[in-house]
């Protein structure tokens, strides 16, 4: 029934071939919704982690005497909802080919960064989690596209996955607001099960996020390579694509690592977005399609809509004292809930 309804949508005779979406628009929207939910869960849990660390600093007297809730400025829920829908729409429109390239680029950048950031592993790790927002959405999108390829009831599977993702997003958002408003009181009085659990095992939150991201991007890497290789008819065409891509991004990664040592955290991140996606656009102009170029322009908007509202997280990560990424970290002095 769903395919019968969507068959009446005018595409092939009104739009050029490179503007026609690869999959059903309903499936694309559900994939984008799942990706946006994943981004929201990541941001909420990162804020919870940093709020817990800030509260621990206040209790030890190593920061200002103001409570954590006094440092936090809540923004209207409508702004966050509009941003959520905007990111979901961008992820729905961006094709699986460009999403796969974004995923592979992020994995290459993460591995090289972790190998060269040993003295600042804690700082780099938290910055990397903040920078991974849009890449995480692309990873979920291309993984779902690969895993559900050829499924007879693809829309139903995606609908169930979207419902589960929405539930998890609501739970993470509720946890963030609970910690923001009541953690200082409940952790001192010891009568709230949630806050007691966070007080005793909150240090495991960051390692849990790291493991979840490793699993997510490992699956996405396999899906991305498979999706990109489907575009080629022979091994020579695939080699002609992968060779400049690998050389280009190896040079870009080296350049960005040097820039991040010379600039403040958030400024270096924003500059790296322009350099990375600009290099990817040049590559697509030579070996890609016009649809890829259009999707990369949308990726600029996606990265901006994810990084600008979370600039406080980048600044907080930049102020971290270097420790092992699997131990407790010191927190920021100010955060804002979006």
Task: Compute CA distances 196 → 182, 186, 188, 329, whole Å.
Answer: 12, 8, 9, 19
Q: What's the pLDDT score for residue 135?
A: 93
Contact 280, 105 (CB under 8 A): yes
Number of neighbouring beta carbons within 10 Å of residue 118: 9
The 10s digit of each residue's pLDDT in 107-125 is: 888 887 777 765 556 677 8
The 10s digit of each residue's pLDDT in 159-180 is: 999 999 999 999 999 999 888 8
Mean pLDDT taken over the chain: 76
With a threshold of 0.75, does the pTM exceed it? yes
Contact 206, 327 (CB under 8 A): no
Q: What's the pLDDT score for residue 213?
A: 94
Query: The tokens 């959520």 sit on which residue?
Result: 84
Per-residue pLDDT band for 141 (boundaries 50, 70, 90) equals very high
The mean-pLDDT minimum among 26-40, 74-88, 141-155, 158-172 falls in 74-88
DSSP class per residue in 2-65: HHHHHTTS--TTTS-GGGS-SS-HHHHHHHHHHHHHHHHHHHHHHHHHHHHHHHHHHHHTSS-S
The 10s digit of each residue's pLDDT in 220-241 is: 999 998 888 887 766 777 777 7
- Mean of pLDDT values over 47-57: 81
């Amino acid at each position: 029934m769903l395919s019968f309804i969507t068959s009446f949508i005018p595409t092939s005779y009104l739009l050029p071939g490179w503007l026609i979406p690869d999959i059903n628009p309903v499936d694309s929207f559900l994939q984008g919704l799942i990706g946006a939910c994943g981004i929201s869960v990541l941001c909420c849990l990162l804020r919870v982690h940093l709020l817990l660390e800030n509260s621990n600093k206040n209790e030890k007297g190593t920061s200002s005497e103001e409570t954590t809730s006094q440092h936090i400025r809540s923004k209207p829920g409508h702004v966050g909802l509009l941003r959520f829908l905007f990111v979901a729409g961008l992820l729905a429109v961006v094709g699986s080919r460009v999403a796969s390239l974004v995923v592979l680029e992020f994995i290459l950048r993460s591995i090289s960064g972790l190998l060269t950031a040993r003295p600042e592993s804690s700082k780099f790790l938290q910055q990397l989690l903040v920078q991974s927002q849009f890449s995480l959405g692309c990873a979920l999108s291309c993984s779902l596209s690969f895993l559900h390829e050829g499924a007879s009831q693809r829309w139903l599977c995606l609908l169930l996955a979207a419902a589960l993702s929405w539930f998890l997003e609501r739970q993470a958002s509720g946890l963030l607001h609970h910690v923001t408003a009541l953690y200082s009181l409940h952790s001192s009085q010891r009568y709230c099960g949630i806050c007691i659990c966070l007080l005793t095992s909150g240090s495991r939150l960051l390692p849990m996020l790291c493991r979840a991201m490793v699993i997510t991007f490992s699956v996405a890497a396999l899906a991305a390579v498979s999706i990109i290789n489907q575009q080629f008819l022979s091994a020579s065409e695939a080699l002609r694509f992968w060779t400049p891509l690998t050389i280009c991004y190896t040079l870009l990664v080296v350049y960005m690592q040097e820039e991040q040592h010379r600039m403040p955290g958030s400024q270096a991140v924003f500059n790296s977005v322009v350099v990375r996606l600009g290099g990817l656009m040049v590559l697509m102009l030579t070996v890609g399609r016009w649809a890829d170029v259009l999707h990369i322009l949308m990726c600029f908007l996606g990265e901006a809509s994810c990084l600008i509202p979370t600039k406080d997280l980048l600044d907080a990560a930049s102020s971290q004292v270097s420790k092992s990424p699997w131990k407790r970290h010191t927190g920021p002095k100010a955060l804002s809930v979006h």
